[in-house]
Amino acid sequence: MEQAVRDGIIDRNPARVSGWQREYQQAEDELDDPRYLALPDWETLCTLADALVKRSYGEFAGWGDVVKYGACTAARIGEVSGVRKEDIDRGTWMWTVRRQKTPGFVTTMLDAGMSRGSEGFGG
């Protein structure tokens, strides 16, 4: 494409990407300070969860709970989707991740050959 520009066949190279340096620098900044992406407080998390509920089909309140649970445990969406009440020890408030779920597929951690410790929350 650059040769076509030099030869006068086209005015500019349509494959040339501009602005990538700014995007790259932002990604580098986020790696240097991961808290840059964090929500500042509980109120902001609740606002985000409420907005998701309002935009969901039938305004399903469960989506707000999923967002809050995921944020408070730092779990992946597949792990949050796979949690069952028996996975949580209510005496110690420890969650043992036993399975993860992706659309149409459930994997237990043992099936996947994974070993993951318990996630503590509450207190």
Helix (H, G, I), strand (E, B) or coil at 55: helix
Mean pLDDT, to the nearest integer, of 16-28? 78
What are the domain boundaries of the chain?
A: 1-38, 40-73, 77-123
Q: What is the pTM of this model?
A: 0.55
Helix (H, G, I), strand (E, B) or coil at 105: strand
Q: What span, in angstroms and rounded, lies between the C-alpha atoms of 78 and 63?
A: 14
Residue partners of 86: CB distance under 8 A and separation at least 6: none
Structure confidence by residue, pLDDT tens digits, 68-113:
999 988 888 888 888 888 999 999 989 998 888 876 666 665 555 5
Q: What span, in angstroms and rounded, lies between the C-alpha atoms of 15 and 93?
A: 54
Mean pLDDT, to the nearest integer, of 42-50? 95
The answer to whether 5 touches 12, Cβ cutoff 8 Å, is yes
Structure confidence by residue, pLDDT tens digits, 7-21:
999 998 888 877 778
Q: Token pair 């994974």 is at which residue? A: 114
Helix (H, G, I), strand (E, B) or coil at 101: strand
Residue 123: pLDDT band with limits 50, 70, 90:
very low
